[in-house]
Amino acid sequence: MVCLQEVRSEPEQLPAELRDLSGWHALWAPAAAKGRAGVAVLSRRAPERTVIGFSSAEFDSSGRYAEIDLPGLTVASLYLPSGEVGTERQEEKERFMAEFLVHLVQLRERAAEDGREVVVCGDWNIAHQPADLKNWKANQKNAGFLPEERAWLTRVLDEAGYVDVVRRLHPDQDGPYSWWSYRGRAFDNDSGWRIDYLMVSQILAATCIEAYVERPASHAERWSDHAPVTAVFDFGQLH
């Protein structure tokens, strides 16, 4: 499985070799606003069901959520708004969070009724704890580390019942960071944020045997301000 965020392209704008990947089934969810956002889910197996958006009148055309069902598993790709304190962008982020938490609860409950597990991958644009960003003291009043945002992410874990599998396997370390600003020497100094998560249902989380950030070896080898987050599951443990 591969989940992508900030695709920013309509499917027809992609080169054919990317749009029609041999051996892959792709669900593309572009944003109505051209050149903005966009998410995708790629799977080796044909999905049984595909959904774009989460029944939100405001956000379903914003290219921020796509979901597929596979046998025994629901996989979703998320690009949560980044926000900016004191602006309409932050208000938009808060509205998205309020609606999306309801969806996360319903998604997990519906999956449990169907005997399915869930993984929601993506850019959540919130660092949860001080261990999730290098300069946490200086960012307590900035979007992405506001107390109310962090409290919301706690609700995703406690109230909605998901597990952050990277933190579960790396409980006592700073990071591993997944995003670094292009400003200054943030990447070289590993002055990053951990804002890209795989949030997973409880039973599936127990089968996660490896989770890590694929940090490039050098600044010159970066192709994004984010690095891929990868998790490996032993699905045999589910049976």
Q: Is the pLDDT of residue 239 over 70?
A: no
Residue 159: which pLDDT band, with cuts at 50, 70 and 90?
A: very high
**What pLDDT sits at residue 173?**
93
Q: What CATH number belongs to 2-238?
A: 3.60.10.10
Q: What is the pLDDT of residue 9?
A: 87
Over residues 143-154, the pLDDT tens digits come to 999 999 999 999
For the chain, the structural domain boundaries read: 2-238
Inform me whether the pLDDT recorded for 236 exceeds 80.
no
Cβ contacts of residue 150 below 8 Å, gap of 6+?
A: 126, 127, 128, 129
Q: Can you name the residues that pair with 77 across neighbouring β-strands?
A: 66, 121
C-beta separation of 191 from 197 below 8 A: no
Q: Compute the average pLDDT of residues 166-195.
A: 95
16 pLDDT band (50/70/90 cuts)?
Answer: confident
Residue 46 has pLDDT above 70, yes or no: yes
Residue 182 has pLDDT above 70, yes or no: yes
Please, are residues 230 and 214 in contact by the beta-carbon 8 Å criterion?
yes
In the predicted structure, residue 90 carries a pLDDT above the cut 70: yes
Place of tokens 């600003």: 181
Looking at the DSSP bridge assignments, the partners of residue 196 are 123
Residue bearing tokens 């261990």: 131
Position 113 pLDDT exceeds 70:
yes
- Written as six digits, the tokens of 76 are 């979703």
199 neighbors 162 (Cβ within 8 angstroms): yes
Q: What is the pLDDT of residues 60-86, one digit of tens each?
A: 999 999 999 999 999 999 999 999 999
Q: Would you say residue 199 has pLDDT above 70?
A: yes
- How much of the chain, in percent, has pLDDT values that exceed 70? 99
The three-class DSSP label of residue 97 is helix
Place of tokens 């109230």: 159
Please tell me the distance from the alpha carbon of residue 40 to that of residue 134, in angstroms, as a whole number: 29
pLDDT tens string 201-235 = 999 999 999 999 999 999 889 999 999 999 999 97
pLDDT of residue 238: 65
Q: Which residues contact 218 (CB under 8 A, 6 or more apart)?
A: none
Mean pLDDT value across the chain: 95
Interatomic CA distance for residues 182 and 191, integer angstroms? 11
Q: What strand order describes the sheet that includes 49-52?
A: 49-52, 65-70, 73-79, 117-123, 196-201, 162-164
Window from 144-148, 162-166, 180-184, 197-201 with minimum mean pLDDT: 180-184
Q: Can you tell me the distance from the alpha carbon of 103 to that of 238, in angstroms, rounded to the nearest whole number?
A: 24
Helix axes 147-158, 88-113, angle to 10 degrees: 10
Q: Residue 114 — pLDDT band, cuts 50, 70, 90? A: very high
190: alpha, beta or left, given left = phi > 0 and alpha = psi -120 to 50? left
Q: Output the pLDDT for position 237.
A: 67
pLDDT band with cut points at 50, 70 and 90 for residue 97: very high
Tell me the catalytic residues: 123
Whole-number Å distance between alpha carbons of 69 and 35: 27
- Model confidence at 120: pLDDT above 90: yes
